[in-house]
Chain A
């Protein structure tokens, strides 16, 4: 196959055959379920795939949103460059403090675990890197 991401357009991401997270979303949740059609000859092959998708709701979501809002730079639109520096410096420190807060380990957004140790879908950015893995066909 080709490279995992074919930027066919500038404004829409077009992964050529889906990141692992996309694939998992499609092939584990959708499609014809053979158990509904076949009972007798179903082979009890061991499925390694653990559908451990957890949509984290409630407190964790809220804390994540709050953190994003907290570190958002709302700098006045009429200021630019140097005039932002005095307020910019303390904010940078606040971010690194937040990132290292031992009481609050970062919470994964949404996790799809496949038993071979692959973890997919932690974020959109990770999806991009997952889809760029070495396991594609040459």
Chain B
């Protein structure tokens, strides 16, 4: 007797549609595009008029959200984004089946999605993130502000427990100095790239040594130009900022708002 053969495992799993995003109806999918869930279903299209939902089957008896699921969601979207424009759903969009996808998602919002898809036709998102080369910029700040250098020397001369408040003060002033530099440096980096994009969406960096976190909407025919420009920029700023370039991606930052 197999002890694992409980009634639960014998019950047929209920299948539902996990939705990755919205694409143009004439999109061709790569073969064997595995999505979220375990076992992972293959991605397929559910078309409606000019658009289609990119979905795969998931079993509703297992939770989703493992590391593999997160990577699966992104993998499906970005494999396609390399080929065509994709409006991504946020992670975790599950509908009861193909009819629900057609009748409740695609049909009522067809025009909104179609307008966005065809307006941004043949574009993708590139995300640029930058962090300061911390020691370089710390040196910069200490050289520019003798008061901070003095405070640092004081902190260094004291044992840890005796310097607590001085360390907080020093850190606060350093954080302010970084934030100030970020204002100008971040804007400058965005400025230098935005000319190669048709739109930009700028976010506040989440890490304290972050300089820039911006999403650029780039036309496919200009991908290379944008990538070259980013590389040039990385070279120019290499001493102070380490840049990361993600993309081509689905239009995470440029989805239409209802």
Q: Which residues of B contact A53 (CB under 8 A)?
A: 206
CA distance A115 to B117 in the complex (A): 34
Interchain CB contact under 8 A, A47 and B70: no
Q: A116 at interface (Cβ–Cβ under 8 A)?
A: yes
Interchain CB contact under 8 A, B67 and A135: yes
B 212-258 contacts with A by CB, 8 A: 227, 230-231, 233-235, 238, 242-246, 249-250, 252-253, 255, 258
Q: B12 at interface (Cβ–Cβ under 8 A)?
A: no
Q: Which residues of A contact B170 (CB under 8 A)?
A: 62, 65-66, 69
A 34-61 contacts with B by CB, 8 A: 34, 36-43, 45-49, 53, 55, 59, 61
CA distance A37 to B71 in the complex (A): 24
How many contacting A-B pairs (Cβ < 8 A)? 234
Interchain CB contact under 8 A, A23 and B71: yes
Q: How far is the CB of A94 from chain B (nearest CB, A)?
A: 7
Q: Which residues of A contact B139 (CB under 8 A)?
A: 72, 74
Interchain CB contact under 8 A, B246 and A15: yes
Q: How far is the CB of A54 from chain B (nearest CB, A)?
A: 10
Interchain CB contact under 8 A, B89 and A31: yes
Interchain CB contact under 8 A, A31 and B21: yes
Q: Of A17, A32, A47, A68, which one neighbours B74 at CB under 8 angstroms?
A: A17
Q: A104 at interface (Cβ–Cβ under 8 A)?
A: yes
Q: How far is the CB of B35 from chain A (nearest CB, A)?
A: 12
CA distance A22 to B227 in the complex (A): 19
Q: Which residues of A contact B65 (CB under 8 A)?
A: 46-49, 114-116
Q: How far is the CB of A101 from chain B (nearest CB, A)?
A: 5
Interchain CB contact under 8 A, A13 and B242: yes
CA distance A30 to B233 in the complex (A): 26
CA distance A136 to B71 in the complex (A): 9
Q: B44 at interface (Cβ–Cβ under 8 A)?
A: no
Q: Which residues of B contact A25 (CB under 8 A)?
A: 206
Count residues of B near A (Cβ-Cβ below 8 Å): 81
Q: Which residues of A contact B172 (CB under 8 A)?
A: 62, 65
Interchain CB contact under 8 A, A66 and B243: no
Q: Of B71, B73, B75, B208, which one neighbours A61 at CB under 8 angstroms?
A: B208
Interchain CB contact under 8 A, A67 and B74: no
Q: Mark A103-132, 1 if CB is under 8 A from B, else 0.
A: 110000110001110100000100000000
Q: How far is the CB of A70 from chain B (nearest CB, A)?
A: 5
Q: A137 at interface (Cβ–Cβ under 8 A)?
A: yes
Interchain CB contact under 8 A, A27 and B60: no
Q: How far is the CB of B63 from chain A (nearest CB, A)?
A: 4
Known contacts A15-B244, A49-B65, A103-B160: does B70 contact A68 (CB below 8 Å)? no
Q: How far is the CB of A114 from chain B (nearest CB, A)?
A: 6
CA distance A86 to B171 in the complex (A): 27
Q: How far is the CB of B140 from chain A (nearest CB, A)?
A: 11
CA distance A22 to B215 in the complex (A): 13
Q: B94 at interface (Cβ–Cβ under 8 A)?
A: yes
Q: B87 at interface (Cβ–Cβ under 8 A)?
A: yes
Interchain CB contact under 8 A, A27 and B91: yes
Q: Which residues of B contact A30 (CB under 8 A)?
A: 88, 90, 252-253, 255
Residues of A participating in the B interface, judged by any CB pair closer than 8 Å? 1, 8-15, 17-18, 20, 22-34, 36-43, 45-49, 53, 55, 59, 61-70, 72, 74, 94, 97-98, 101, 103-104, 109-110, 114-116, 118, 124, 133, 135-137
Known: A12-B244, A72-B152. 4 other contacts (CB 8 A): A24-B70, A40-B104, A43-B94, A114-B65
